[in-house]
Structure 1
């Protein structure tokens, strides 16, 4: 991969819980994560969130607020992810082809499950009242110069 890929995530809250999916594919295969995926060429961030949430959760959503920009550099991947808080418009929760399961988890459950530290940090800050969009970097590989 020569350049970072742009991706989106949809954060759906239910009280003090957040909707997560268990990832079927790398990066973070087998871990719980915010549902989302890559932005396609010519697609807006908002349209990408709507499409990805439908594909991964079967829910129709409306992104209402930018929560965070998360940069992940690991496992041969480099993503810049825009995570949006979303409102559910309709649909029944059902994990899609990129997820093995989907569920609402509270912060205590997140800390006991395989959830990336950046996801936990982002949600802790949000639930603690920090509403300004966050910028978080998760890097576990060293870059070689070209």
Structure 2
């Protein structure tokens, strides 16, 4: 019976979180080291683990992917990623850092860095990220 439940849960969407960290005029970004969207730049984030609150997931993912520590702030918005074999509902929150330092890539990130808000769209971004950031007033333009 447990194997059947595991199989059913793999067919369901996963809940994920994204950390929008802005310091001054810079946005914190990471290059994804694993699918989906491997090799693209995105905001730190990942799946919510069983028994974990959204705020706990944000703080954990931020630290795992960048080495930075912060507190979960207000929700910015949500999006969905649906592709072959993968469906995630992503809840994005602002994160307030305890201290701005240079990020160090770890876990699911191959690189992490601060990027001026006006330069974000010059990066090879994860699909839909530029539109999301623009629609929620994070970046001024998507072209």
Tell me: CA distance 1:46–1:97, structure 2 relative to 1, closer, same or farther (3 Å).
same
Aligned pair partner of 1:26 in 35, 41, 63 = 35
Q: Which is greater in Rg?
A: 2
Aligned to 1:6: 15
**1:26-77 alpha-carbon deviations (Å, 9 max, x no partner):** 0000000111111010110001111111101111110111011111002421
**1:84-99 pair list within 5 angstroms:** 84-90=93-99, 92=101, 93-99=103-109
The alignment covers a number of residue pairs equal to 129
Q: Which runs of 5+ in 2 are unaligned?
A: 1-9
TM-score (norm 2): 0.82
More strand by share: 1
Tell me: CA distance 1:40–1:123, structure 2 relative to 1, closer, same or farther (3 Å).
same
**1:104 maps to 2:119:** no
CA RMSD of aligned residues (A): 1.9
Aligned to 1:136: none
CA distance in 2: counterparts of 1:128 and 1:99, whole angstroms:
22
Tell me: CA distance 1:52–1:127, structure 2 relative to 1, closer, same or farther (3 Å).
closer
TM-score (norm 1): 0.80
Aligned to 2:132: 122
CA distance in 2: counterparts of 1:26 and 1:117, whole angstroms:
12
